[in-house]
Structure 1
Amino acid sequence: MASLSVAFKGENLSPLGFGAMGLSEFYGSGDEEEKLATLKLFIAEGGSPNQKCVIDTADCYGPYTNEILVGPFVQQNRDRVFLATKFSILRGPGGSWDGVRGDPEYVKEACEKSLERLGVDYIDLYYQHRVDPKTPIEETVRALKELQDAGKIRHIGLSECSADTLRRASKVAKIAAVQWEYSLFTTDIETNGVLDACKELGIALVAYSPLGRGMIGCDWKTESEIPVDDYRKYLPRFKGEAFVANMKLVTSLRELASKKGISANQLALKWVIDQEALPIPGTKRTKYLKDNLGSVNVEISKEEHAEIRKLLDTIEVEGQRYDESQMASVNA
């Protein structure tokens, strides 16, 4: 697996990114001014003065409004922001999920629309959000390479692809990054061949939902406390007996973090960073962002890493991370 500077040709990127998805939907409502203040704070403090802050969005978030929200912040701080966005997941009226497209015509069409919504001339990292089973990956990546050659995107990425798909894609063009759900709750990338392929091909790993979709730092004691407008209420890991079982891991991680005088979220994020991945946690509140940013300065000893691995080996995470329909598009 390549370091960020190698994968992105010398770009000096912040070790912690920001996932903007929750600013628009999925994780319940929130104060609009607080959301904007959180994004502004990340750009101001998300990295050292000579680092670019990584902001991750996608056309389908909102749907089709998250890029509009993020756009002005990027425009005003273009030299300070490393902008990543994604295409391929289709949303319909009322936010319905209408499949995936990766055909060349759509790749170029989606890119133009994202550039317009964001109000920028180029995208730093452009991902295929999910692999289109109807379009060979080679065709999709050739279209992305054409966008790269035209200066509309700087780097090509894939999300939740299989190791085989990644290798095929890499024969067409340089893949800079793979985005995958990776956290103390989700480590399947370590055993399904994708992480091995990233290491073999010199590809950076970007870890989304590095806090287990907020489970590690949540205040909920039971499933019933999750708001009805929160997407997590309907995910297998947050339902019924699975929720209760998964809190065992949360409790153990919190105990270890408490001994170090840090938050469980800081422990979890630094664990991901120590795996040489770039975590992109999201939040709608400045106080949580400040806590997340503090993870960069945390030190986890070799002995503590071993203790964490022992926890992962002995406490089994219950429930899939998505429902069956969504899992069908993972590792494709």
Structure 2
Amino acid sequence: MMEKREFANTGIMVSAIGLGCMGMSSSYGERNDEESIKTLQRSLELGIDFWDTSDIYGNGDNEKLISKVLRENRNRVFIATKVGFRSGNDTDDGVARQGNYLDGRPEHIKKAVSACLDRLGVECIDLLYLHRVDPNVPVEDSIKAMAKFVEQGKVKYLGISECTLDDLNRAHKIHPISAVQSEYSLVERTVEKNGILQRTKEINAVFVPFAPLGRGLITNKKHMQHLQPTDFRYNIPRYNGEHRINNENLANELDLYAKENFNATVSQLAIAWVLAQQDNIIPIPGTKRRIYLEENVKSIDIHLSERHLKDINAILDKYPNVGERYAARQKGFLKK
């Protein structure tokens, strides 16, 4: 049975494992809307009720896809979406830009949230994130614009994604930040070092790790050798050259450890490891296929002792050359 975790000291209990929906509509090769809808439906059967999307995923198509299941199950789903990214063709001046870009201006936030509500087909969004902090707009201005929707009863809680510690603190002074999202996994632990993970505990926020499986880095070794140009991981350093070799060796050893100690897959071990770090963590492994959803759910049955955690850290220490998690353009969206 799926465990529950409290959402941000609110008394609201949500599934300890959520569902990241991005890959259903973008970034990971061809879409299969029929299978994605079945995956959403199956997630509810398995007790997974914490769903994550964004207005930029598929340029709104992901929210529309989710709405096909959400509308009939509104009381069963805690829905989170994000604003602050725009596609290159979505401009106010009529001049197309190359690729996605950030826009945290209040006037854009206002239009974007209203559009999210329409696409999702809901009267109120449970959790609204600022997807990235726009370096050209004070984070306070973006959060104030989002907070107006809370005042209007159209959003319940606010969150922020991929932020610096300073931006988190500044945002929290304007309006309580209930959730912080960033990448966190066996191969990506920056939030342990930059203070973000600890700060979420201090402000009673949940920490929501995306890519807890390392974007397939340690769970799908064969596929990693044959990425297609349409897959956004194609140019990321971690999946190429010496880094890929390092990570294949790491994946092999973690896979063996999972089998020998838990009769489990490395995916299940990876999610269990994330869950074991803090009790305010709700990972959102993404998938568009039921077979992987059902595999991921079983991670809830793995309980890691202190010995297990030490063993895993020892394995990670043997393979430090993991590589950068983003290519140059993607890194440009992260505020330094």
Normalised by the shorter chain, which TM-score bucket? over 0.9
1:246 maps to which residue? 247
| 2:84 corresponds to 1:88 | yes
- Alignment counterpart, residue 144 of structure 2, candidates 139, 142, 145: 142
| 2:222 corresponds to 1:196 | no
For the structure 1 residues 222 and 203, does the alpha-carbon distance in structure 2 shift closer, same or farther, using more than 3 Å as the test? closer
Separation in structure 2 between the aligned mates of residue 323 and residue 66 of structure 1, nearest angstrom: 24
For the structure 1 residues 141 and 226, does the alpha-carbon distance in structure 2 shift closer, same or farther, using more than 3 Å as the test? same
| 2:44 corresponds to 1:43 | yes
Task: Please report the RMSD computed on the Cα atoms of aligned residues, expressed in angstroms.
Answer: 1.8
| 2:177 corresponds to 1:161 | no
- TM-fit CA distance, 1:137: 1.0
For residue 58 of structure 2, give the secondary structure of its aligned residue in structure 1: coil
Unaligned runs of 5+ in 1: 48-52
> In 1, are the aligned partners of 2:132 and 2:162 still within 8 Å (CA)?
yes
1:216-235 matches, cutoff 5 A: 216-220=218-222, 223=225, 225-235=226-236
- TM-fit CA distance, 1:107: 1.2
Q: Which moved more, 1:227-236 or 1:183-192?
A: 227-236
Aligned partner letter, 1:318? V
For the structure 1 residues 287 and 231, does the alpha-carbon distance in structure 2 shift closer, same or farther, using more than 3 Å as the test? same
- Alignment counterpart, residue 63 of structure 1, candidates 37, 40, 59: 59
> In 1, are the aligned partners of 2:187 and 2:322 still within 8 Å (CA)?
no
> In 2, are the aligned partners of 1:138 and 1:168 still within 8 Å (CA)?
yes
| 2:290 corresponds to 1:286 | yes
- Alignment counterpart, residue 269 of structure 2, candidates 263, 267, 270: 267
- TM-fit CA distance, 1:281: 0.7
1:310 maps to which residue? 314
Separation in structure 1 between the aligned mates of residue 12 and residue 322 of structure 2, nearest angstrom: 38
2:121 maps to which residue? 119
Separation in structure 2 between the aligned mates of residue 95 and residue 287 of structure 1, nearest angstrom: 38
Separation in structure 2 between the aligned mates of residue 40 and residue 6 of structure 1, nearest angstrom: 22
For the structure 1 residues 116 and 31, does the alpha-carbon distance in structure 2 shift closer, same or farther, using more than 3 Å as the test? closer
Aligned partner letter, 1:322? Y
- TM-fit CA distance, 1:114: 0.4
- TM-fit CA distance, 1:229: 2.4
Aligned partner letter, 2:16? P
- TM-fit CA distance, 1:300: 1.4
> In 2, are the aligned partners of 1:46 and 1:293 still within 8 Å (CA)?
no
1:97 maps to which residue? 99
Unaligned runs of 5+ in 2: 90-95
Aligned partner letter, 1:91? S
2:93 maps to which residue? none
Aligned partner letter, 1:63? N
Q: Which moved more, 1:196-205 or 1:184-193?
A: 196-205
